[in-house]
Amino acid sequence: MPFNVFIDTEFTDFLDPQLISIGLVAQSGEEFYAELPYEVRECSEFVKAAVLPLLGYAPHAEMTKDELRLQMTNWLRLVRPKDQEVFICYDYQTDWDLFYDVLDGRVPPWCRRRLVADRINELLRYEFHKQNELPEHHALNDARANCYAFRELPPASAGETIA
């Protein structure tokens, strides 16, 4: 049985995405959140309007990229069940790319990437945000919502073709 950690990121823009914040939520409930320094002039208008107003409220979340690398790696070690692989679950490729970049490509060998976009129930994700009164476009809120809305696909029955 895989141990899933759901990630979400917020970043400056789609053309040259620079990490602004990252949220990780383990299926067991542990959470990690960090914010990095960013240049407002590099942010898209959408990010300025929807993402930036949500930053700065989590105590001790602001850190450098080097601090983030160390703290995130330590957090992953702490939540990892003994000798078990951890699946880093993302629903958008840029989330994985920014996670990989923060780690300078040194992803622990027991961490595996897992694209789960087709396993996130969008109605449940919406429900999570509404019921908890948590705004979207905040990395931790969105990682929490993805964890809540994740549903494993049923295994293919005999005779079915898996694409």
Q: Give the tens place of pLDDT for each residue, 3-55.
A: 999 999 999 999 999 999 999 999 999 999 999 999 999 999 999 999 999 99
- Domains in the chain, please, with CATH? 3-149 (3.30.420.10)
**Which pLDDT value is given to residue 20?**
98
**Which pLDDT value is given to residue 126?**
96
Strands (E), the chain: 3-11, 19-26, 31-35, 86-90, 111-115
**Which pLDDT value is given to residue 155?**
65
CA distance 34 to 73: 13
pTM, two decimal places: 0.91
CA distance 156 to 140: 32
Q: Give the tens place of pLDDT for each residue, 77-104.
A: 999 999 899 999 999 999 999 999 999 9
DSSP 3-state of 153: coil
161 pLDDT higher than 60: no
